[in-house]
Amino acid sequence: MFNFSFDKKTMYIIAGVMLLAVIVQYIATPQALIILLLTAPGVLVAITFHEFAHGYAAYKLGDDTAKNEGRLSLNPFDHLDPIGTLMLLVAGFGWGKPVHVNPTKYSRKMTMEKGEAIVSAAGPLMNFILAIVLAIVMFGVAKATNTAIIMSDFGFLISASNITIEIIVKILLYAVTINIGLGVFNLIPLPPLDGSKIIMPFLPYKAKRWFINNEQIFYIIFVVMFVTRISGMIISPIIDGISSGVFSLGKLIFRM
């Protein structure tokens, strides 16, 4: 997901300060701590499958770097970055431990640039697929247990027959939104996010060279957007729109 070309410690310090501020807010609100626990499974699934998808895509293109480093695994501990995971947990966006790839090993049936775009797109695509699957499972559970899930502008109202079913449905609900959030966040076309590699094959030659030569500027822009939370304001409407569509699909399938 991430491939830092600037001082990684700087990013961790910034993220750590933001994280501390958010944690203080959570401690002051007991209800928020409960939500935090319910989102944890979704975070583990989202990051694990995202990073696995990067490594698997690279492997299918001929690069065995991720395989040799033990990253073709669905064990969460092989993929979790401490700060990035906590940021995703409490702030709704974050990152995992980057999967190392070697584009020179990619199949010669395509350019290295296109190969990198495919590998980069695999992570967000996996998150969107997971979101759809989990939404279908969520509404399937709700249908089987006569649980009502009411969507409104203010969120979701879940009416279940018992607390266990309600918790399961909520965990699935948060897992869907976390996966969509992680997928959308990584599609922002700024280094070090996946989107910066995905757009490369589509840029004109001069624009591509300018983008590469000024990559450090984009890193600075990203850090500013990250610290000021502008990135969150930009992608929140997109996340909400996609989430609405995914949940509507689940409801349609089960005629709820």
Q: Among this protein's residues, is 113 annotated catalytic? A: no
Query: What string of DSSP letters covers the chain?
Result: -----S-HHHHHHHHHHHHHHHHHHHHH-HHHHHHHHHHHHHHHHHHHHHHHHHHHHHHHTT--HHHHTT-S---GGGT--HHHHHHHHHHS----PPPP--GGGS-TTS-HHHHHHHHHHHHHHHHHHHHHHHHHHHHHHHHHTT-EEEEETTEEEEE-SSHHHHHHHHHHHHHHHHHHHHHHHTTSSSTTSHHHHHSGGGS-HHHHHHHHHTHHHHHHHHHHHHHHTHHHHHHHHHHHHHHHHHHHHHHHHTT-
Catalytic annotation, pick one of 51, 69, 113, 215: 51
The residue type at 139? F
User: From CA 125, how far away is CA 70, in angstroms rounded?
Assistant: 22
User: From CA 123, how far away is CA 108, in angstroms rounded?
Assistant: 22
Reading the block at residue 47, the tokens are 């990051």
Length of the chain: 256
Residue 144 has a CB neighbour count (10 Å cut-off) of 10
| Catalytic positions, written as ranges | 51
